[in-house]
Structures are given as C-alpha cells and as structure tokens.
Amino acid sequence: MWSVCLLRRSFHSSLRLMKQQKGRSAAEQRWMTRQLKDPYVKASHKLNFRCRSAFKLLEIDDKFRLLHPGDSVVDCGAAPGAWSQVVVQRVNSAGTDPELPPGTVIGIDLLNIPSLDGAHFLSSHDVTEPSTHSKLQELLPRGRAHIILSDMAPNASGFREMDQERLIMMCLSLTDLAEKILQPGGSLLCKYWDGILAQKLQDKLLSVFGSVRTLKPNASRKDSAERYFLARMYRKPVK
C-alpha cells in the first residue's frame, strides 16, 4: 500500500516548494531540491503526517510490534508531532476489544507542539527536569508508561563530535526518566548519531534492559549518521 503512496506526486506541495526556492542560498536550495525528490516527504503530504519522520516509526513498529492498543506512550522531542500521530493511530486503533481502555499518548518538547486529537502535549517542557517527570507521573495511568519514544536531537552546532556527544547525553537522561515512569518489561526507542560514544549508551541500556538492538530504518536517509536503539524488557536498576 505504501509503495503506491510513495510514488504519487504531491503536485501542489511541490509547486509551493519550488516557488520558495527563489531568493534562497545555495545550501537552502539544495535542501529544498532534496525535499522535492524525497518520496517520504511526498507520502507524508499525501497521508497528512506532519513530517517524514512518521515513516521511521511506522517501519519500526510494523517490524517489531512495539505499539499495542491500550498502551501508554511518552513521546520525547515530539514536535511537530508526527510520531505522536502514528502512536495515536496504533494505541487507539479501531476494532480492538471494547473492554480495553484507550491508549495514552503524551508528547514533550521544548518547542510548541500543535494540538492533536488523542494526545496530550507538554510544550515548553524539558524532559530532563524533575518537574516534568512529576507531571508525567500525574498524567500517566497509575503513573507508568509502557513505552518511551525519543526522536529528539540538539540544535546543530556545526561540530559533529560535539553534536553526537550532546545527543548521547540526552539519550542517557532517558534512563533517569525510565526509572521514574517506565513499567517493568517496558520498552525504549531512542535516536542517536553514530560515533565513539554510542557504545557507552548501548552499555548503559544493556544494564537495565533485557535486549538492545541497533536499527536504521529505510526512511532514515542513507547519508545520515542517524541510528536508533530499541531496548526492550526494562528492569529497574538495583540500588
């Protein structure tokens, strides 16, 4: 089904982007040209996803069955809300057991996240702050989540190693969040940029999860250092 969607041309969106190219710098024009040619950008317009990143989560979930009806999910770095769109569809899907309560979807970001039916967004919130952790415990059923998702990334500094380190540190902070809200047996999916510190993050995840695997979805651009760790079967660390 996706193959048809991916090959169709979103004419009006492409025309709008072409008009915007006028007066842009060479780098900006290259980015716009890549957007015009990107099948996932076209498909996101067609299917009304807020950005192409939705297809990364769709691909991962189709393969690993991460999201289930009734799950409670926390989406970190949620803006503009494309992953939350996917989660709402999957945890509140129609045709499930009527006795099963609807899922809970909570998105967090320092940026503003436009509202979305079926999701509760905490805009202008820092996922590393204890006050945010407390707010999540209030909003989640029984104060616990089945899954923590993270597609967050720091603002690019232009220094690759520095940016990689900052993202790894952001991901490591999610283990503190997991200790507060993730239920035993829960899962964590987080984006990182491949580099020398990736092993440190993997080792930390392995210390509190039963399994950790590295993923690079097809929707992730081939020239990108972007990867994901999928950690499952959470167990709280021994104090």
Nearest to 52 by CA among 234, 224, 179: 224
SS3 203: helix
Q: Is 216 a catalytic residue?
A: no
SS3 string, 152-198, reads CCCCCCCCHHHHHHHHHHHHHHHHHHHHHHEEEEEEEEEEEECCCCH
Look up tokens 């204890």; give the residue: 130
For the chain, percent helix, then strand, then coil, each to nearest 5? 45, 20, 35
Query: C-alpha angle 176/180/185, rounded to 5°?
Result: 95
Annotated catalytic residue within 42, 56, 191, 204: 191
Cα(225)–Cα(101) distance, rounded to whole angstroms?
A: 39
Cα distances (Å, whole numbers) of residue 112 to 38, 79, 128: 26, 7, 17
SS3 142: helix
According to DSSP, the residues that pair with 97 across neighbouring strands are none
Nearest to 195 by CA among 158, 148, 227: 227
Q: Which residues of 19-43 are buried (b: 16+ CB within 10 A; e: fewer)?
A: eeeeeeeeeeeeeeeebbeebbbbb
The residues assigned a catalytic role are 191
